[in-house]
Amino acid sequence: MTNIRTVTVLGTGVLGSQIAFQAAYSGFEVTAYDINAEALEGARERFALLAETYIAEVEGAPKTGGAAEVVSGTSGKAAATLTSLTLSANLAAAVANADLIIEAVPENLDIKRDTYRQLAKLAPAKTIFATNSSSLLPSDMAEFTGRPEKFLAMHFANRIWVHNVAEVMGTPLTDPATVATVMEFATEMGMVPVEIKKEKAGYLMNSLLMPLLGAASNLLVAGIAEPADIDKVWRISMGAPRGPFELFDMIGLMTPYNIGINGPNPEFARYLKEHYIDKGKLGMSTGEGFYKYPKP
Amino acid sequence: MTNIRTVTVLGTGVLGSQIAFQAAYSGFEVTAYDINAEALEGARERFALLAETYIAEVEGAPKTGGAAEVVSGTSGKAAATLTSLTLSANLAAAVANADLIIEAVPENLDIKRDTYRQLAKLAPAKTIFATNSSSLLPSDMAEFTGRPEKFLAMHFANRIWVHNVAEVMGTPLTDPATVATVMEFATEMGMVPVEIKKEKAGYLMNSLLMPLLGAASNLLVAGIAEPADIDKVWRISMGAPRGPFELFDMIGLMTPYNIGINGPNPEFARYLKEHYIDKGKLGMSTGEGFYKYPKP
């Protein structure tokens, strides 16, 4: 058992709010920080939605052989989690007693470095820092933390309560004891932890996913087959729940557009812009992408 | 409904025997051809195993909400299928009345071309020819068929009764009516048919799978993570039943070795040889590869 009890999550976007909720749901004392009252208002809404989702999908998950039993939300653990979360726009107060800070601020190296410069001064010496950055390497931030031996990356997947994997990746300066503590903490917060032995952009998850999505987009742009047919082949031949274009819709089409337009394959980005983005079809979040969805 | 009633499958290897069994199981009159009595003896064993598998996995599949009910094999459809199959080592007799020939002979262009040269003479004018080749393009065989307008590729996945997708891919010379007939036949034999609009090596299935497997092998060879950890991340983050190294074990390690050793990434092939192949660990079929399996 680790001696981590208090966890502060910086940033309450899609993943930040899920990480905070899941940690609190698992019994940790969690503070969610964001930059101002408006951002925290958004966080409150996300947490309320997460509580509903946990009630339906975690606590009300179908029992073996039976129909779904939905546990009442008013007395359940998800509802209790909602009231246990502390929200704060005061960075000094939010981190003053943190055993672990999980940083999920916007994916921009300057913003992250500036955050670590502040944390280096504000957080107590005991605090471990973990970045949830998807595309940046922790080595590019380590020197700003003031404690590179207590700094690493801890990467989560979207829909953390289902896709409960945590990729833990140190830098050459990270103390192995820090890695061990964070691996154990990950288990305590309900994750399956996986250690990455050398720094790798995209960790394991995106290193595997990006080539699959790239291959699918090449098939589409080359006119080999339709998105629904490509997805069908992948789902049936692999037994996978979703095909690549269903994944694009979940991720949102602006992400592959932004990655692709200045990347090695701008053709797919142009295809996305012309056929979808310019028509307001950005994926699941807008009700339509490669597929149509019920409005959220 | 198509006017295909009689189907001849050439080659009774892993996939050929599955295609023949599934077509017969779906009510077609099926002849399975192989080159000699010894090969047909192997086919008989494979068909008997397939009947057991269909009894357990298709007919005895778990009913919703209940435990698995295994249907008795002595009176069931799978047992009847076994007796309905005609086996033949006489090519002329095997194809004399075929509405459709599905060719699953060894993956070698010379063998395939020679097979089509013979079929061009032996098969009646009505017969449609379909190749199940995974890695060769149908265009490279079309001129030897004597009927390029009635020739296309029809590609199946291993474990056809679960992964029931058929990729249908014509050449520029294929009559669209032939494509339409084969798409409809695929449905009649229990497949989900998918049309590929332009010839593409690897069809959709392998065009998607190879980049994923390549990415996984790069992570391993670069020392980023262990096979079991890479698989874990893929399974959990994607909700997929198998990770890339579990797939390698299913495919058998000689296949990525043969593809890799003269390909763009010989490093993984050398890794496979040193750590697995030289020790007799060729994947699931030998009881061990990246993982251990109960002996078959």
Q: How far apart are CA A228 and CA A99, in angstroms?
A: 47
Question: What's the pLDDT at A265?
Answer: 77
Q: How far apart are CA B114 and CA A230, in angstroms?
A: 33
**CA Rg value for chain B:** 20
Q: Single out the residue in A148, A164, A196 at which a domain terminates.
A: A196
Q: Are residues A126 and A272 in the same domain?
A: no
Q: What are phi and psi of B138, to 5 degrees?
A: -60, -30
Task: Write the CB contacts of B38 (distance below 8 Å, at least 6 apart in sequence).
Answer: none
Q: What are phi and psi of A9, to 5 degrees?
A: -105, 125
Model confidence band, residue B182 (pLDDT cutoffs 50, 70, 90):
very high
Query: Mean of the pLDDT values across residues B134-147?
Result: 96
Percentage of the residues of chain B whose pLDDT score is greater than 70: 94
In a domain, B296, yes or no: no
Tally of domains within chain A: 2
Closest of B96, B118, B93, B122 to residue B105, by C-alpha: B118
* Cβ–Cβ < 8 Å for A101, A28: no
Q: Single out the residue in A196, A221, A250 at which a domain terminates.
A: A196
In a domain, B219, yes or no: yes
Q: Are residues B224 and B96 in the same domain?
A: no
Question: What's the pLDDT at A64?
Answer: 45
The distance of A149 to chain B (nearest Cα, Å) reads: 20
Q: Are residues B118 and B51 in the same domain?
A: yes
Q: Are residues A215 and A190 in the same domain?
A: no
Q: Which residue of B198, B210, B230 is in closest CB contact with A224? A: B198
Q: Are residues B70 and B183 in the same domain?
A: yes
Closest of A42, A5, A10, A248 to residue A116, by C-alpha: A10
Query: Mean of the pLDDT values across residues B163-171?
Result: 97
Question: What's the pLDDT at B296?
Answer: 56
Q: How far apart are CA A264 and CA B188, in angstroms?
A: 42
Q: Is A1 on the interface with B (CB under 8 A)?
A: no
- E strand spans, B161-251: 165-170, 192-196
The answer to whether the CB atoms of A211 and B215 lie below 8 A apart is: yes
Q: Which two tokens stand for residue A291?
A: 């597929």
How does DSSP classify residue A137?
-
Question: What's the pLDDT at B265?
Answer: 77
Model confidence band, residue B261 (pLDDT cutoffs 50, 70, 90):
confident
- At B277, which helix (H) or strand (E)? none
pLDDT digits (tens, 9 = 90+) for B56-105: 999 875 544 434 444 444 458 999 999 999 999 999 999 999 999 999 99
In a domain, A223, yes or no: yes
Q: Are residues A53 and A164 in the same domain?
A: yes
**CA Rg value for chain A:** 20
The distance of A90 to chain B (nearest Cα, Å) reads: 33
Q: Quote the crossing angle between the two packed helices A254-261 and A266-275, to the nearest 10°.
A: 140
Q: Is B292 on the interface with A (CB under 8 A)?
A: no
Q: Are residues A108 and A126 in the same domain?
A: yes
In a domain, B82, yes or no: yes
In a domain, A268, yes or no: yes
Q: Are residues A75 and A161 in the same domain?
A: yes
Closest of B259, B261, B256 to residue B245, by C-alpha: B256
Question: What's the pLDDT at A66?
Answer: 39
ipTM (interface pTM) = 0.90
Q: Are residues B148 and B218 in the same domain?
A: no
Strand partners, B193: B166
In a domain, B295, yes or no: no
Q: Are residues A190 and A256 in the same domain?
A: no
Q: Which long-range contacts (CB under 8 A, 24 or more apart) does B226-234 make?
A: B226/A197, B227/B290, B228/B290, B228/B291, B229/A194, B229/A195, B229/A196, B229/A204, B230/A204, B230/A208, B232/A165, B232/A192, B232/A194, B233/A165, B233/A167, B233/A194, B233/A203, B233/A204, B233/A205, B233/A208, B234/A204, B234/A205, B234/A208
Question: What's the pLDDT at B75?
Answer: 54
In a domain, A157, yes or no: yes
In a domain, B294, yes or no: no
Q: Are residues A183 and A87 in the same domain?
A: yes
Q: Is A216 on the interface with B (CB under 8 A)?
A: yes
The distance of B146 to chain A (nearest Cα, Å) reads: 26
How does DSSP classify residue B262?
T
Q: Single out the residue in B175, B196, B217 at which a domain terminates.
A: B196
Query: Mean of the pLDDT values across residues B101-120?
Result: 96
Q: Are residues B139 and B220 in the same domain?
A: no
Question: B248: domain CATH number?
Answer: 1.10.1040.10
pLDDT digits (tens, 9 = 90+) for A128-175: 999 999 889 999 999 999 999 999 999 999 999 999 999 999 999 999
Question: B161: domain CATH number?
Answer: 3.40.50.720
**Which residues of A fall within a CB distance of 8 Å from B191?**
none
Report A:110-139 residues touching B (Cβ under 8 A): none
Q: Which residue of B163, B194, B211 is in closest CB contact with A211? A: B211
pLDDT digits (tens, 9 = 90+) for A175-188: 999 999 999 999 99
* Cβ–Cβ < 8 Å for B86, B30: yes
Query: Mean of the pLDDT values across residues B235-264?
Result: 92
Q: Which two tokens stand for residue B58?
A: 């298709």
Question: What's the pLDDT at B72?
Answer: 43
The boundaries of the domain holding residue B242 are 205-286
All residue ranges of chain A with pLDDT < 50 are 63-74
